[in-house]
Structure 1
């Protein structure tokens, strides 16, 4: 079993591409896996937290303060700025605007630490942004919802965010407790095995996330093409802009994990919080958004560079 996991760790990008293709070509399998998404997410979080360990995940007080500031910028300032820019134009309630505002309001995807590992960077900053960002969603989303009441009821979004945070907290705390009972340092062999297991899980996870896209691609190909163009531009555009800003500000080491988080957001969180009238038109966009998301470790390797995993 260990050799299989090591092979998956060396070819993590292949796992991601295989998952994307399976999600498009095997709609029945995607529909089945969609029902298991919460459990898959929880297991992926557990593996991430166990690999990183509590000390690296938490970091120092300075790291936490910087991470909190980045969360406020990425999840509150950016969507508020977009809403305020679109309101005078009467475009704030357009489907495209709603999709982008919700994307910017969402926290990091659970796979951001894995993508960071695939690019050979320290996943701890991405894990901090994931945990803090999800925990602060009930606060950061409030101003956005108050300015955009058509997005749905504040209470529903807050409750959904709290449920997601509870899943993350339970998974992370369980992983930290198990890690504390074992030797403090993981061997390279065990770390590679964890990376391989995470790569396989990510490939399975994306199959379920693509459940809505496969049927739409067969019935509305041009609509899918339009939303895919928007998703690629938004995802990669945010990553490129964030990477340039972080390096320009002298934070080159944190530039890659922060950029990955900036462009890859857990917009699916809002599917369980907002009314169907808001989310139904966005299902194709959410499916399209998985494409640049899961291709990030492949297409942006040249920009980010690749090192041995931390």
Structure 2
């Protein structure tokens, strides 16, 4: 057990590099790997959410909920205003249908299930990110059908009940597993094992990227120009969202006398909102759309993982710089 603990700690300490390297390596895995792992995608997502719930400080979670104004405002912007804006931009630039659909679905999606784990890696507010992720996931059955109807119209049918069931099973199972593990390990042992938990989280995230990226190299060989274009689009969409929300959030905080609830927020909280804005759980939404549309946006879904897995590395530099400036 000692050797395993050391190994997991070593992986956790190198999480940013490992996640970045997993992208090109997994892309060159045969497509059969993705086909084998795809049926287990729900379990992978449950594992990521469970890890986040194990580590979360419940006292801080409840503390955030005592002043929910900022959380509500951000969710409105995240789940309603932002997708409508993305749709307008896609139409303005006359983007191809697969790119248009992929961008809108990503903007409609709840925050990434592993977003709290990313927040811990980036030294941000994991408890706040957990609240955003949970709330965003809870309201997605209500928000996504309306937003998709407003943006994509008759291009796509959307099974709201299937999505609701999937989210309920995923979140419910994660809560149950996390509750059991927290009881078995205890709060102090969990705190002492933070680096090892980073290691476990990293391994599960690599498993996820293997599921999404395996076989991508074959698509790149068939149409390299389109794949490069997709990579540029998803990178701008992710990091552009993070940068935009960071600047806007810090600006609003500076004029906080107009927005008292936001003006009193800590820098970590504002940057946590920003990180979540760019990192969405597109896999959950993609799982319930018609198979024809899923196949059409599959390259988008695969390459969408690239900026997510680069967030610990590049985001670490960006958020680290902003966090140092506050001191």
- TM-score between both structures, scaled by the size of structure 1: 0.88
Q: Matches of residues 117-128 of structure 1 in structure 2 within 5 Å?
A: 117-128=120-131
Residue pair 2:99, 2:300 contacting (<8 A) in 1 also: no
Displacement of 1:31: 3.5
How many residues were matched structurally? 306
Gaps of 5+ in 1: none
* Matched residue, 1:14: 17
Gaps of 5+ in 2: 254-264
Q: Matches of residues 1-310 of structure 1 in structure 2 within 5 Å?
A: 1-27=4-30, 28-83=32-87, 91=94, 94-147=97-150, 148-154=152-158, 156-180=159-183, 183-186=186-189, 188-211=191-214, 213-250=216-253, 251=265, 252-305=267-320
User: Aligned equivalents of 1:290 and 1:63: distance in 2?
Assistant: 33
User: Aligned equivalents of 1:186 and 1:297: distance in 2?
Assistant: 25
Q: What secondary structure does 1:121 align onto? A: coil
User: Aligned equivalents of 2:64 and 2:235: distance in 1?
Assistant: 35
**Could you list the per-position Cα deviations for residues 268-293 of structure 1 after superposition, in whole angstroms to 9, with x for gaps in the alignment?**
22322222333322111111111111
Q: Which 10-residue stretch deviates more, 66-75 or 124-133?
A: 66-75
- TM-score between both structures, scaled by the size of structure 2: 0.84
User: Aligned equivalents of 1:274 and 1:185: distance in 2?
Assistant: 42
User: Aligned equivalents of 1:257 and 1:115: distance in 2?
Assistant: 10
Question: Against the structure 1 CA distance between its residues 84 and 10, is the aligned structure 2 distance closer, same or farther, given a 3 Å change threshold?
Answer: closer
Q: What secondary structure does 1:104 align onto? A: helix
Residue pair 1:247, 1:255 contacting (<8 A) in 2 also: yes
- List 4+ stretches of structure 1 deviating above 4 A: 84-87, 89-93
Question: Against the structure 1 CA distance between its residues 192 and 82, is the aligned structure 2 distance closer, same or farther, given a 3 Å change threshold?
Answer: closer
User: Aligned equivalents of 1:108 and 1:270: distance in 2?
Assistant: 11
